[in-house]
Chains A and B, each alone.
Chain A
Amino acid sequence: MITAQVEGFMAARTEMEPLLPLHWEELALYRDKMPLDVDWGRYAAWEEGGSLLFVTLRDDGRLVGYFVGVVGTSPHYQGTLMCKMDVVYLVPEHRGAGSGNLLMETIKRELLRRGVKLWWMGSKNHKPIEGLFRAHGFTQEEAYFAQWIGD
């Protein structure tokens, strides 16, 4: 049975570690130049500071998906609590069966409980999931551009 729940991020680190390379392999940009190198210390600091939201999907307890978001205010809008997606991932065998919807609903419920007013999600051009976001009431508001300027 698939369940969605809010959890502690660092407590789930050992479960995350096998999934992260799969996530990176499928979705990361500039893989030939930018290896996966997770800054666990930074995540721990965010969590200790109260700004990390971690929502998981579990299949009979096994971690099969996750959302990591940063909850806080913007320097432009210090009175408005926002959540910005860090990463979201669902293992391929659980896609297309409603698990994404369950994840989104659980995230939103927690964000509403926290008093978040504005929720940002991101979608990669080469692996778009904006259909999920639009189905949950999102509209595209911005576009980000990137250029590798290293060696």
Chain B
Amino acid sequence: MRNFLMIAEGVDTSPVVQALFRNPDLWDAHPIRTTHPGTAHADVSDILVFFNDLTDPSTVVDDREVVAFPAWERLPQLRPLIFGLMNQVGGVRLGRVIITRLPPGKTITPHVDGGAPATYYDRYQIMLKCLPGVQFKAGEETLIAKTGDVFSFDNQQEHSVVNFSSDDRIACIVDIKSA
């Protein structure tokens, strides 16, 4: 595949998934990605862990600088996954970290990412929960991922996700700048 690169498989995501179960109020505390007009993420619930400073939404699209949101302190179980991934890929700068939840039967519609998340950072995804039936398309390629997979993909290609599995698909998006 040219649009996807598998980084790791079988990563233990259960501590994070359990922490999410214990902290349901974190979902959609900051719905900027999922509620703006024309969003591809209307079916998704988000937890912003690291994101651009929302006090000036006009800088959100092309802002390299991110700040920690309350979820970073509430979900310490994320740290081994994120720092481990940064170490794995030679990361020197962390960008956005977003946990997204897509319910069964729902879709992230086709779209192309823009701004620093597409042009400055490499985008990785950690499949915190991903049962059989989820299809992640980028360009002409389709990745069938599973829980514990970690991969990067070319988010400047048109991409979409459809969840035909029996449960929520929960992914942790991690933007990393490598040396």
- A81 touching B164 by the CB < 8 A rule? yes
Q: Looking across the interface, which residue of chain A has its beta carbon closest to that of B164?
A: A81
Majority secondary structure of chain A interface residues (helix, strand, loop or mixed): mixed
Chain A: residues with Cβ within 8 Å of the partner, total of 13
Whether A73 sits at the interface, judged by CB under 8 Å, is yes
- B106 touching A48 by the CB < 8 A rule? no
- B104 touching A113 by the CB < 8 A rule? yes
Whether B48 sits at the interface, judged by CB under 8 Å, is no
Shortest CB distance A133–B (Å)? 22
Majority secondary structure of chain B interface residues (helix, strand, loop or mixed): loop
- A50 touching B132 by the CB < 8 A rule? yes
Given contacts A115-B163, A115-B164, contact A49 B104 (CB under 8 A): no
For chain B residues 77-135, which have a beta carbon within 8 Å of chain A? 103-106, 131-133
Distance in angstroms between the alpha carbons of A90 and B164 in the assembled complex: 29
Whether B14 sits at the interface, judged by CB under 8 Å, is no
A/B interface sample: 24 pairs, CB < 8 A: A48-B132, A49-B132, A49-B133, A50-B133, A50-B164, A50-B165, A51-B132, A71-B133, A71-B164, A71-B166, A72-B133, A73-B164, A79-B162, A81-B105, A114-B104, A114-B105, A114-B164, A114-B166, A115-B103, A115-B104, A115-B105, A115-B106, A115-B164, A116-B105
